[in-house]
Structure 1
């Protein structure tokens, strides 16, 4: 952002130019009406100026071919012409062509060198940018700023700091770039010291400091600085909205949001994202409808947030409507949006739509494969997950730890104990992936579900790190099913060590004691819960019926159809008790779907 600001500030304003449509026609008329000597004679400074502007306009429009044709047909060029076409090339991703033109320039000025530095930075060639910087016969503050901003952008903050110290005349851009860099690497004290030392601060400086504090979870410092900010802009306000939402203070965020007179798209996206992340999907969708009414065109980040909201609500209807917008606005090629789309369909229970969305992707990457395999795993579709894993290997995409975690999860849902051990071994031996705690947790859970508690305990003892609460939670749940009091006590003790207020550990241990007829221990555990102030969390669920989402909380009697609901649940429960196998249960549920 800072580098683009620097480049814009170094370019010539086009506010006083001839209308753009006049330039090519005037030039064409001039080009064909006179022989070459006269043509060059009448090609005035004004015409050169107009052509230079037109080159920049074509560059910004992405029409590099037309820009080059205009440049080549100019009878007379100045250094600005060369700088304009060089910038046009690297701005459109043609850095090598920009280099060729740079070295063929008859004369270079300091802006020529600065342009090449900026071009190398923009195209990820930071070391080459530094070579141009060192080779410059003369440097100005903008040269340093371009290089400092480049180092910061690619997280080489130490190198940026060294250049900053060398810079004889620092300006607000220099200071702001370094503050941004220090914030990115978490060196808050250095950033604040520089900010306080700045002789002149602008809105960007304040916004970078406030955003840096928010991004690093230091919201109190962000609030203190925001209150001192003399002229609050939409960027700083958006950062504060994000800060409030990160702390779960949704009402405060909305109050600030509503008070912004001229909201930009980033501001709307921040509020949408916050609603989705805080589980308030209904408000996210309402806010999106406000955007639609105001004719604000969404971008990729907008739609990702809306998909997240639809996922949280399990509302496939709204999700499909958003999918139509993805196609309408031409975003279907964006991978991150495709991943959100697959996840949304999966969480809404429409796994066929998720698979179709994957198959329609262009250039699926590792994250794409992981997303669809995870979706199959969550739906208990073991065969599908394995088929797509084999397809993934066949096309040459190497799996990572996330891939194998999804495969282990699929094994767990399908009760595939031997297959889970095979995948675990494949991960370690073939791909050299070091198992993380979540891999062990998943494997232990699979063994526990199969009643192989001793084998699960052996894996825990042989793990290269201490088992966390998730691993012991799997053990505890299995001890409840297979009534292993001794191991259950150990597991509950370990969980309570990790989280003393974990209500589930107390409840399951109490149930184990009750099943074993150890009523004194049941009483002791319940008293311990009371003394610790631990309360059992209520379960909740929701479903969409007739385009309306219904929420249910354990023990809640507020729903208008409570009597009918409980009667139906009781009927289902009685029928399930009479069934003898999973196939019959699936048949029963299909009648209610």
Structure 2
């Protein structure tokens, strides 16, 4: 018998023993087997132990041994043989054979059940694992700690916390809840499903002395982005004299990397050195830590010290160099990785492609693309998306479109999203919309990134509503990023009501969504609603960040409410953000726009680091409040301090300049930094040259603007109008209409004013009526005042009076002042007296009205009446301000 077994053993050709075998005592644990034989004879035990020690369990060898066991009669009477064969079938990935064998075991024990359940888990067959456990539970067989832990692991992978809670309740009922293995499984289940608080409850139920529970809790916190909580747990672990292991170290180092906390990270690194840990995962975490904090020299040293490296280690060091913007070093490491024949995954390739996404790396990008095709990674959707993104960043749109057209096999919503997003970021809105439509035509369902990208470039309310309906149909509208993009789109399109309705429908709002909505209200002049929303945000328990506070301060600027602004300043101070340059710049801007220049200057002086935002805000504040000299001096200091000036700063400075010589110097600077074609700068240059009386350079500055908008066109029209060049102003207006630019109310004020200065009465009448007829703009008192001035300058005073009487709104002091000026020009005393009385009634403290009426009387020789007007001024306390000049 023994000789026959030895011959059979040689026939199996087993490899040298490595793995430990099953022990008879272990097999005996579990359900009592009655009279069943637990172990075979001693020679058979040697045979089975010998096979159990082999490194590889193949299906063929297992079936041979299974057949021999049936021949010799070991099965089904011997549970040791049955469990051993069961384990070998599972190791051979023959789960069907394993289950068939299990069904032949008359009285399986807990090891039999656990072997199948854990093997299903090892092969990611979690649903089968759960079904097998249900079968075990239905049979009435009592599970042990290993069973519960394995089933909880399956529930975690199935994202089934309810099932996990049922299993955990059974473990509590059966007295296994105190097991560290079971509790660790439940903690991991809750953590993987985002229920960190419930995980903490399980963790704190019993004072745990098991490092596995601590590791599950720490890694769960890291997985949920609660890295500070993970570090707190690690410190608590040390206080309770619980020794960490390699898994603990890797999780804690990951948390330090995410927080970029190099101080704690170095301390943990020192502990790892003290423990002489050579674990590859710990080494990778150390490399990743130094890479994330930007210390690539230390990261490279630790990488070179690693005795064993895996693909994650290589990817971590490559990603670190990419983040440091050292593409050359990243590609060098990648070449070294290929020379070691280390397995390369799609994460490695995406990092390398990111390194190549630079204008001077186009050649390397093509080389990597060739290697990707050769290695077969071109069929991977993640790699395809990264490659597409690389070509788009290289502005190689032809290559990207060719690549995109060849991606039919892997063209998923993510690939479409990359294409749409890149077109949106390159301000190619037309192509982005076209690509989105093509995506829908091919039956693809957009993901949240596609919706967010296309909504960011939509400036047509009709199209935006269509996309909203599509997102609503597929339920994507409730995603935070899609919802935020939707209400931002409505806000940009001027539909604040729709914007707010979408905002209210978002189930969960983060700081970005709150801030976007507050900023939307503020940008549209709805300061009260913005501040009300800010209060709601604070009441809801959300902590405003710098962006939120900046938006709230912008609302105070809109309302010019110094009181509210100071309240938010107090909140900023309590939050410890007052010295931050970003919040500090917003505070300076708020005080400046509210006219509190002293406060603005004080906040500016208190900033430890003054940036261009704070400087620009103060320059703008000085200019808008008439402190022109202070604005110019501060702008000069910015230039002397080598601050990078932007279009906002230069526009503010130009607004304060009324000297042609100084304006020419700033124009030279603008040309040097390449901002002459910017809309705001170009418009400011037009206005500056107009103030200085240089209409020729005014026109030249306009011609330098790449794509002039309505403000730029209106500035040029106003410049011609103020210099009495009505014909030229009207030519500019006609050219603007030909370009498809729609005029607004301000444009018509300037156009009618130009007609007035040039005496073009009929053309002025035509433009006035065109406002409502062609563009739907209702005239206000400014337009009526310009029309009165137009008629009055041409001597049609009675017509001007009838025009005022026919106005659909009550004329204000500006309208009557225009008539008064015309009466003075043409010496109409009676009508001038009527106009003056109306102005005095509407604006009693205005000295210019009294002076104009007095001069009218003096011009026609009515000196007594002129003197009486002067005495009337003295009686009511109206004082004429003395004139002054630069000469």
TM-score by length of 1: 0.73
Q: 1:69 to 1:215 in 2, by over 3 A?
A: farther
Once the two structures are superposed, what CA deviation does each residue of 1:108-127 show, in whole Å capped at 9, x if it has no partner? 9xxx8332232123222644
Q: Distance in 1 between matches of 2:849 and 2:432?
A: 60
Q: Does 1:244 align with 2:588?
A: no
Q: Distance in 2 between matches of 1:358 and 1:486?
A: 45
SS at match of 1:466: coil
Alignment of 1:250-269 (within 5 A): 250-269=597-616
Q: 1:435 to 1:207 in 2, by over 3 A?
A: closer
Q: 1:132 to 1:98 in 2, by over 3 A?
A: farther
Alignment of 1:136-535 (within 5 A): 144=483, 147=486, 157-159=496-498, 161-162=500-501, 165-181=504-520, 183=522, 185=526, 186-188=528-530, 190-204=532-546, 205-229=548-572, 230-231=575-576, 232=578, 233-310=580-657, 313=658, 315-389=659-733, 391-392=735-736, 402-417=746-761, 420-421=764-765, 424=768, 435-515=779-859, 521-522=865-866, 524-535=868-879
Q: Distance in 2 between matches of 1:297 and 1:254?
A: 20
Q: Distance in 1 between matches of 2:737 and 2:346?
A: 62
Deviation at 1:353, TM superposition (A): 0.9
Partner of 1:121: 455
Q: Does 1:47 align with 2:47?
A: no
Q: Is the 8 A contact 2:478 2:506 kept in 1?
A: no
Q: 1:400 to 1:47 in 2, by over 3 A?
A: closer
Once the two structures are superposed, what CA deviation does each residue of 1:282-337 show, in whole Å capped at 9, x if it has no partner? 22221112111221111111111122112xx2x11221222222222222332332
Deviation at 1:197, TM superposition (A): 1.1
**Number of residues paired by the alignment?**
519
Deviation at 1:361, TM superposition (A): 3.9
Q: 1:370 to 1:200 in 2, by over 3 A?
A: closer
Partner of 1:95: 432
Once the two structures are superposed, what CA deviation does each residue of 1:83-128 show, in whole Å capped at 9, x if it has no partner? 58454454334635875998899x99xxx83322321232226442
Q: Distance in 1 between matches of 2:683 and 2:520?
A: 30
Q: Is the 8 A contact 1:385 1:407 kept in 2?
A: yes
Give 1 or 2 for the bigger CA radius of gyration: 2
Q: Distance in 2 between matches of 1:415 and 1:408?
A: 10
Deviation at 1:441, TM superposition (A): 2.2
Moved more, 427-436 or 241-250: 427-436
Q: Distance in 1 between matches of 2:631 and 2:772?
A: 42
Deviation at 1:270, TM superposition (A): 0.8
Q: Is the 8 A contact 2:619 2:649 kept in 1?
A: yes
Higher relative contact order (CA 8 A, sep 6+): 1
Structure 1 residue ranges without an equivalent (≥5): 1-8, 542-550, 553-593
Q: Distance in 2 between matches of 1:172 and 1:298?
A: 30
Q: Is the 8 A contact 2:321 2:330 kept in 1?
A: no
From 369, 373, 380, the counterpart of 1:77: 380
Q: 1:475 to 1:155 in 2, by over 3 A?
A: closer
Q: Distance in 2 between matches of 1:243 and 1:362?
A: 31
Q: Is the 8 A contact 2:471 2:477 kept in 1?
A: no
Q: Is the 8 A contact 1:241 1:257 kept in 2?
A: yes
Moved more, 374-383 or 128-137: 128-137
Once the two structures are superposed, what CA deviation does each residue of 1:326-363 show, in whole Å capped at 9, x if it has no partner? 22222233233222211111111111111222344444
Q: 1:165 to 1:425 in 2, by over 3 A?
A: closer
Q: 1:482 to 1:176 in 2, by over 3 A?
A: closer
